[in-house]
Amino acid sequence: MSVDGKPFELKGVTFAMPIKEDSIEASFKELQNMGVNAIRNWGCGNDTQLLLDTAAKYDVKVLLGIWMRHGRSGAEGDDNFNYVKDDKGKEKIFNESIKWVNKFKDHKALLGWCIGNEVILNIGPEDEKVAYAQFLEKVCSEVKKIDPNHPIFSAGAWTIEWKYWKQYTPSIDVYGVNTYGWGATALPDELKKSGIDKPYVLTEFGPRGEWDAPKDSNGLKIEPSEKEKVDTIIQGVPKMVKANKECLGAFIFNFGRSTDHGGVWLNFKMGDSYRPYYWAIREVYTGQKAPNACPEIHEFTIPNSVVKPEDWVPVVLKVSDKEDKDLKISFNCNYREKGSRQDRDAVKALNSRKNDDGSYSVQAPKDEGLFKIYAYCQDSYPNLSIAYTSLFVTKQGSNAGEPGQKAQLPLFVFDNTTPQTKLPYIPSGLMGNFKDMKHNMECTDNPHSAPNCIEVAYSANGEWIGLAWQSPANDWGGEKPGGFDLTGAKTLKFWARGKEGGEKVKFGFGMIGREKKYFDTAKKETADLILGKEWKEYSIPLDGCDLRRIKTGFTMFFGGQGRPITFYLDDIRYE
């Protein structure tokens, strides 16, 4: 990439800081300290002039966003726009977009235009997706006429939008990919398979997101540790960005001030405090180590993680700091299950106390449900490290009631010698678009262990599907006793392969919530596993799981992948 006729190595972050006269210069000084030379935002407004002028002053380029409305509620908001039917609405979007291009096309801070963000992901019907891609071409082609000097980008979730852009939106110059974790390693191959000869930029990049996270034993999505977040940047940028010639750079997510659930997960600053993630970005962009070490959290757990409302609960917190002995420790919580979007995102303080032996206890929230509990550990620099665990609050407390039937280990959910009618769990829990799924429990096509395996065939291109192995069969409401006491099991293991390779499936166990009479005493789920064509064994560790009554012995979930898929399972067992 070149800018103003000179080579330009893009070192970007996404920018969501307040754009105000009294604070914006401080934000750009931070960007300079981090070695950032480009920022990306998502839309234009009355404050865009100040953003661009300040960026120019600090020699930072701006990939300027032009917002395209979404077709349904999603992570980006609660819009519901129809690109097939709403011609007046499209005219308004078009005119607004062109207004901003005419206003800012000659600004020296402008790097390019990023028109639209994850729009096709947030549209349901196929005809509306096509209509959007065609409308996007109308906007992009007009922008290209008005401003031939700056490239046109559009940002999509993973590669979902590529086939639409390729067919309907040729005026896009650079494909923007929003991807988190290590998925970006596959992008060069995706580019080749798609037959696309355009460069790409990681328009959002960062640690593994909530949508890809496995679940813990209480059913909470597991946020990456501070170390995992740091490693994603320190190791990931060289391997996934700099090593790929088709990739022009990355905008690491996110330079913002929010302290809600998403802010804790992905912001590299919180207030005036520096997260370990901040120093990782600075190191990968400048080569400079952090001037002051962040607190290192070695362990944060709640041994008794199922309690009654407002109980005082002991926690295990082990933390150290190379420079500071006296750290500021506090605890917060997030209720991710119910309420408005704002309620689900809120992070609230918990009552806590330091015990005589130096340990800590926290007071459980007064509401029932599954909570995410945070330990904030801040030094005097100020650096802030955060660890996370789960707490399930119920009036029953930790009393699981009647345990399941004691299992003899190893316990096979599926093997090749036991008749189906005598297996402990029944694959009766059909979910989603199950009319387009067939599961053959006696498939003889290359089983891992002769003579047979499970074949799962899904004929649809979209929607989603799930299948649960239940005890007793069809007990969705947890109204009947059953299940197995798997205490002593260390892992849930299974073998899997795809017919073509590349099939994405999540596996796990436990589904019935603790609000039910006979609930699963533990739940756990993998992230999306990408299956190969050859058999591979997978393991789900059971450390810390309460296995006294597991009624849902195995689960699988997958979404439509743009084509029919078939995959195989074998030798599913607890041991």
Q: Helix, strand, or coil here: 556?
A: strand
> Would you state the structure tokens that stand for residue 512, as one six-digit string?
């019935």
pLDDT, position 462 = 82
> What are the start-end ranges of the E strands in 118-188?
152-157, 174-180
The amino acid present at 196, given as its one-letter code, is I
Reply yes or no on whether the pLDDT at 75 is more than 70: no
Q: What digits encode the pLDDT tens for the residues 367-378?
A: 988 999 999 999
> Would you state the structure tokens that stand for residue 80, as one six-digit string?
């519901």
Task: Supply the DSSP symbol for 167.
Answer: H
Q: Helix, strand, or coil here: 284?
A: helix
Q: What digits encode the pLDDT tens for the residues 460-494?
A: 888 899 999 999 999 988 889 999 999 999 999 99
Mean pLDDT of 411-421: 87
> Would you state the structure tokens that stand for residue 252, as one six-digit string?
């690491």
Q: What digits encode the pLDDT tens for the residues 120-139?
A: 999 999 999 999 999 999 99
Reply yes or no on whether the pLDDT at 543 is more than 90: no
Q: Helix, strand, or coil here: 138?
A: helix
Q: What digits encode the pLDDT tens for the residues 260-318?
A: 999 999 999 998 999 999 999 999 999 999 999 999 999 999 988 889 999 999 999 99
Mean pLDDT of the chain: 94
User: Domain residue spans in the chain?
Assistant: 2-286, 296-393, 405-574
- 398 φ, ψ to 5°? -85, 5
More confident residue, 395 or 13: 13
CA-atom Rg of the chain in angstroms: 26
> Would you state the structure tokens that stand for residue 21, as one six-digit string?
């006269």
For CA atoms 12, 13, 18, 23, the dihedral sign is: negative
- 467 φ, ψ to 5°? -140, 130
Q: Which segment of 54-58, 80-84, 266-270, 557-561 scores lowest on mean pLDDT?
A: 557-561
Cβ atoms of 50 and 21 within 8 Å: the answer is: yes
Same-fold call for 296-393 versus 405-574: no
Task: Supply the DSSP symbol for 32.
Answer: H
Return left, alpha or beta for 249; rule: phi > 0 is left, psi -120 to 50 is alpha, else beta: left
Share of the chain above pLDDT 70, in %: 99
Rounded CA separation 181/233 (Å): 9
- 210 φ, ψ to 5°? -60, -35
Nearest to 41 by CA among 214, 279, 274, 204: 204
Reply yes or no on whether the pLDDT at 396 is more than 80: no
Q: What would you measure as the largest C-alpha separation in the chain, in angstroms?
A: 74
Containing H/E element for 334?
A: strand 328-335
Reply yes or no on whether the pLDDT at 544 is more than 80: no
- Helix residue spans in 219-334 (DSSP H): 226-236, 261-266, 276-286
pLDDT, position 336 = 82
Q: Which residues contact 235 (CB under 8 A, 6 or more apart)?
A: none
- 303 φ, ψ to 5°? -55, -40
> What are the start-end ranges of the E strands in 100-225?
110-117, 152-157, 174-180, 200-206
Nearest to 316 by CA among 334, 335, 303, 329: 303
Q: What's the burial of 145, exposed, middle or buried (CB within 10 Å: 0-12/13-18/19+)? A: exposed
Which residues on adjacent β-strands are paired with residue 554? 469
Q: Could you identify the residue written with the tokens 């609230």?
A: 348
pLDDT band at 419 (very low <50, low <70, confident <90, very high): confident
Task: Supply the DSSP symbol for 120.
Answer: G
The angle formed by the CA atoms of residues 347, 352 and 356, to the nearest 5 degrees, is 155
Q: Could you identify the residue written with the tokens 């804790």?
A: 264
Q: What's the burial of 225, exposed, middle or buried (CB within 10 Å: 0-12/13-18/19+)? A: middle
The amino acid present at 33, given as its one-letter code, is N
Assign domain 2-286 to a CATH class.
Answer: alpha beta
Rounded CA separation 117/115 (Å): 7
Q: Which residues contact 553 (CB under 8 A, 6 or more apart)?
A: 413, 424, 425, 469, 470, 471, 483, 484, 509, 574
**CATH number of the domain located at residue range(s) 296-393 in this protein:** 2.60.40.10
Reply yes or no on whether the pLDDT at 4 is more than 70: yes
Mean pLDDT of 148-167: 97
Task: Supply the DSSP symbol for 7.
Answer: E
> What are the start-end ranges of the E strands in 444-541?
453-458, 464-470, 484-485, 491-498, 504-509, 524-525, 529-530, 536-541
**What are the contacts of 187-190 at 24+ separation with CB within 8 A?**
187/159, 187/240, 187/244, 187/246, 187/247, 188/244, 188/246, 188/247, 190/159, 190/162
Rounded CA separation 435/459 (Å): 9
pLDDT, position 212 = 85
**Does the predicted model carry a pTM greater than 0.85?**
no
Q: What digits encode the pLDDT tens for the residues 204-227?
A: 999 999 988 888 878 889 999 999
Reply yes or no on whether the pLDDT at 538 is more than 90: yes
Mean pLDDT of 379-395: 94
pLDDT, position 32 = 96
Domain 405-574 part of CATH 2.60.120.430: yes
- 116 φ, ψ to 5°? 90, 145
Helix axes 48-57, 87-104, angle to 10 degrees: 30
Q: How far is CA 210 from CA 232, 264, 348, 351, 447, in A?
A: 15, 12, 19, 26, 34
The angle formed by the CA atoms of residues 470, 473 and 479, to the nearest 5 degrees, is 90
More confident residue, 185 or 37: 37
Q: Which segment of 42-56, 226-240, 323-337, 399-413 scores lowest on mean pLDDT?
A: 399-413
> What are the start-end ranges of the E strands in 68-117?
110-117
pLDDT, position 418 = 81
Q: Could you identify the residue written with the tokens 């209480």?
A: 218
pLDDT band at 73 (very low <50, low <70, confident <90, very high): confident
Q: Helix, strand, or coil here: 329?
A: strand
